Amino acid sequence: MKTRQKKSADASESKSKVKKRAGENSGPTLSKKLRERKDGETSKQGPHLKSAGAHKRGGYGSILHYIYKSTLGQSLHSKMRQCLQEPFVRSLSSYHFHGATSPFDRRITCLEWHPTHPTTLAVGSKGGDIYLQDFKVPTKKTFLQGMGVGDSVTDMKFNKLNPSQLFTSSMGGLHVCFCAQSGAGDFIGGMKFCPTDLSKVYVASGEGTLTMQSFEGRTPTVLSRSQDCGHDHHNVCYWYCCVDVSVSRQMLVTGDNVGQLVLLGLDGQKIFSDKLHKAKVTHAEFNPRCDWLLATASVDHTVKLWDLRNIKDKKSFLHEMPHERAVNSAYFNPLDCSKLLTTDQYDQIRIYSSSDWSKPQHIIQHPHRQFQHLTPIKATWHPFYDLIVVGRYPDDRVCPGDQRTIDIFDSNTAELVCQLQDPTASGIKSINKFNPMGDVIGSGMGVTVLVWDQNESLISDRHKAQEETSTSVDSLRGQRRRRQQRSSRDRRGPVVDAKLKKKLASLEESESKTKTQTGCTKQKQVQMRKK
């Protein structure tokens, strides 16, 4: 089979090959079923989709036409946007791996871009830690230590009073207290920036709390805490797995590991709580445009839509979307909030549209199966184009010969339009999100945060990258030492990919070498650079 060939192509896979593979995937592997569905939809969707197709030929030319029409007072934003999507997709082929940080000793479980600062992102880890960084300014970083503390050790809160201090000096110092309490999971299940105060985040934690934490050193506020179970080896049997905020509703949603959904006021006051799912609630999200509409995803193989004005019990859902497997996420598209993107735990990415919630508009076959020791893979939207990003976990049963790429699909056609890959970042990228500007992708790969964009940063910013990496490795060492003391089973070290380290080291040695690095990156850099 062609498998072999593809595997050997790995590092130096040429751009044409990438493109070809994109074609392959959207073609034969996606099966006739899909294409038939696509055709059906086109007619259903009418002019909207057709125009997207028509502009493929028009390309840039038609943009001027729409700008002109727009100046005449016609509202044509969506068409203009579609025109711009095509050049954007083309520009994606020149995206490459920009830099990496490994701030944690446990794998990354969630990633959130800062809503207004396009180069700042926050990541949460399996160990309960949160790290805020500006990838352009490596010195701008804040580390929030995972609580891992029970009620009795309230003193530990001082840790958070000065996060920057904590990051540099407290790593080796505060170890003792953590051991006893740190249960198996104080992991960050979900995280959301507080829309009214971007220095804060709402955090759902595996230790059973929903908190509001501050990057400016204020004491975290516990908004909700699950019951202490009093068992020997852990503190809680129930913990929150996700969060979302609605400013207009003045409400938070969270769901727990057994299917309970909780609605809270912003002050933590409980508004509603009931077991709405039969198993873990993996995701809960308010529709930003229609604030009474709530989507929940669950390990019970369903995604459900709820009307918050009329939510009573598990039977009061508006719509149920059964899936073949457990579901990791259900995201409304940020642009008009009329679509829902779901990712299951095996090989389906679905796109539902508000015009008919009863069946998906598209089912994209895509390997991303569940594995116990991997952060669940979730497909996410581009902030304003009809595109989605998702990490691939190759599976020969689904699609033989795959690489561990980051895939970008057109959500209207279900076509794979681009794949990102770099030999120095060889792991599975479970989490991938575009920043709010839509021009950078942040990824979580094991313990490492990766950033992908068009800048030649491993070259021009290599010192920064180097500094960033070594800084985090150092801090991680301190952290690791501390953790080793606190628990022998909770040891894990933060390390960037060995190849990446080597690469950074060699960059340090010789400046002149810069343009000849790694196949994939280089080949992508050859591509034109817009902007």
3-state helix, strand, coil in the chain (%, to 5): 30, 30, 40
Q: How far apart are CA 457 and CA 146, in angstroms?
A: 31
The token pair that represents 18 in the structure block: 């990438």
> Residues in the site for DNA, rule: CB under 7 A?
105, 107, 126, 183-185, 187, 206, 233-234, 236, 239, 257, 279-280, 282, 299, 301, 325-326, 345, 369-374, 376, 395, 404, 426-428, 445-448, 480, 484, 489-495, 497
Q: Given the complex with DNA, which of 85 and 298 has the nearer CB atom? A: 298
Q: Given the complex with DNA, which of 184 and 337 has the nearer CB atom? A: 184
Shortest Å distance, C-beta 442 to DNA = 16
Shortest Å distance, C-beta 137 to DNA = 24
Q: Given the complex with DNA, which of 223 and 447 has the nearer CB atom? A: 447
Q: Given the complex with DNA, which of 15 and 404 has the nearer CB atom? A: 404
Specify which residues 448 forms β-bridges with: 445
Shortest Å distance, C-beta 463 to DNA = 24
Q: Given the complex with DNA, which of 117 and 369 has the nearer CB atom? A: 369
What dihedral angle (degrees, nearest 10) is formed by the CA atoms of 297, 298, 302, 305?
Answer: -40
DSSP for 481-493? Answer: HHHHHH-GGG---
Shortest Å distance, C-beta 347 to DNA = 11
Contacts (Cβ under 8 Å, ≥6 apart) of 265: 250, 251, 252, 271
Shortest Å distance, C-beta 309 to DNA = 27
Q: How far apart are CA 195 and CA 469, in angstroms?
A: 30
The token pair that represents 81 in the structure block: 């946007």
Nearest by Cα to 132 from 88, 163, 100: 163
Q: Given the complex with DNA, which of 79 and 301 has the nearer CB atom? A: 301
Shortest Å distance, C-beta 370 to DNA = 5
Residue that is written with structure tokens 């343009």 in the block: 515
Q: Given the complex with DNA, which of 91 and 484 has the nearer CB atom? A: 484
203-225 burial code (b ≥16 CB/10 A, e <16): bbbbbbbbbbbbbebeebeebbb
- Cα angle value 133/371/146 (rounded, 5°): 35
Shortest Å distance, C-beta 406 to DNA = 13
C-beta of residue 328 within 8 angstroms of C-beta of residue 283: yes
Q: Given the complex with DNA, which of 55 and 429 has the nearer CB atom? A: 429
The token pair that represents 22 in the structure block: 């994109």
Shortest Å distance, C-beta 249 to DNA = 28
Torsions phi, psi of 243, nearest 5? -145, 155
Q: How far apart are CA 370 and CA 458, in angstroms?
A: 32
Q: Given the complex with DNA, which of 58 and 427 has the nearer CB atom? A: 427
Shortest Å distance, C-beta 217 to DNA = 28
